[in-house]
Amino acid sequence: MFLFTTPTTRETAPANPVVNAIRDGAERSGAGFDYLLKTAQRESALDPDAKAKTSSATGLFQFIEQTWLSMVKQEGPKQGLSDYANAISADETGRLSVPDAATRDKILQLRNDPQVAAVMAGALTQKNRDQLASTLGRQPNAGELYMAHVLGSRGASDLIRAAGNDPTRVAAKDFPEAASANRNIFFDKSGRARTAQEVYGVLAASHANTQLAAATTTGSVKSAAGTDQPVPIAAALAPDRAKGLIGLFSTEGSRQPVSKAVANLWTTPRSDASRLAALDPADRYFPRQGASDAAPSPPPASTAPANPPTATTAPLPPSRPLDLTQAGNTVPKSTAKPRRAPLDLSAFMVQRSGT
């Protein structure tokens, strides 16, 4: 009872520092929080120390070395990392490197920092969005942004075009390095190489179907990486679930807004008993009767013999009243009361002497 008492204060669940870091990175970079959270869960299951076995990808968002050095070089001065940005240089081929080995290790270790990784992932998302929009002539969707995160903006543009212009082309031929590092994307379970259209569908579906735990502040988020199954729909929202006052008047797990008995009470009764007969006995309330009482039972079949009873066995009529059997009483007597004579007032009159 909380009507007249003060309920005890519930302890607030401890905040997940990784989720908070992703939220802060989304705000600072302008990228969508939901997109970054799904990407981090898909890539690393929200583990800042995640390390890929087939490439140099590390951290929440699985940045490879060259992509990370490029982001620190471009975005480092904006995030207070000017010293690290100045330490990165590019050779004649455009490949980035850090001459000092100790500084290089420190820069690469920043991939394991959720705060820095989230900001860089948000900045990379915005950069990929602008480049894809310029190339495609439209705004990319979330699945196409994830393709750019995996393949780069140029690789994502090539895949999107190939899926539209040459959908049966084997995608691994155009992306050999990405196919080697992500065989589950470019090859099916039997080892068959997927087409460009199939790879596009796998990447788009894998990001869209990534499940997010309801309580993202408790750290109990589980990854759906490696599964391409669609996210199950909640029971309250299933297509066959009736909308409205669900459960308020329903019983026994019915999906209808109200039970049959309540719906029966809210309708106008008909002259016949078909409405009551359609209900289960447990759902009847007014009147409380069984199914056999809904309609009157037919009269039992007659078991009388075919021949009528004889006069000896027939019942006699009642006796005639005595006053009707006496002679002279055929004429009914008058029941009127006798009429009284006029009132005699002579006794009260005063006799006067003659004049």
Confidence band for 265, pLDDT divided at 50, 70 and 90: low
More confident of the two residues 99 and 220? 99
The owner of tokens 């008909």 is 270
CB atoms within 10 A of CB 172: 20
Give all domains of the chain, ordered by start, each with its CATH number. Answer: 17-208 (1.10.530.10), 233-270 (no CATH)
> pLDDT for 43-98, tens place per residue?
999 999 999 888 899 999 999 999 999 999 999 999 999 999 999 999 989 999 99
CB 52 within 8 A of CB 65: no
Confidence band for 171, pLDDT divided at 50, 70 and 90: very high
What's the predicted TM-score (pTM) here? 0.55
CB 243 within 8 A of CB 68: no
Question: pLDDT value at position 125?
Answer: 95
Q: In Å, how far are 103, 116, 341, 354 from 349, measured between CA atoms?
A: 156, 140, 19, 15
CB 35 within 8 A of CB 61: no
**Choosing from 11, 43, 144, 198, which is the catalytic residue?**
43
Angle separating helix axes 33-44 and 142-165, nearest 10 degrees: 80
> Taking Cα atoms as reference points, which of 119, 127, 158, 141 lies closest to residue 40?
119
Question: pLDDT value at position 285?
Answer: 46
CB 73 within 8 A of CB 124: no
Q: Does residue 43 have an active-site annotation? A: yes
Look up residue 197 and give its two tokens.
Answer: 């259209």
Look up residue 85 and give its two tokens.
Answer: 């940005």
Question: pLDDT value at position 55?
Answer: 87
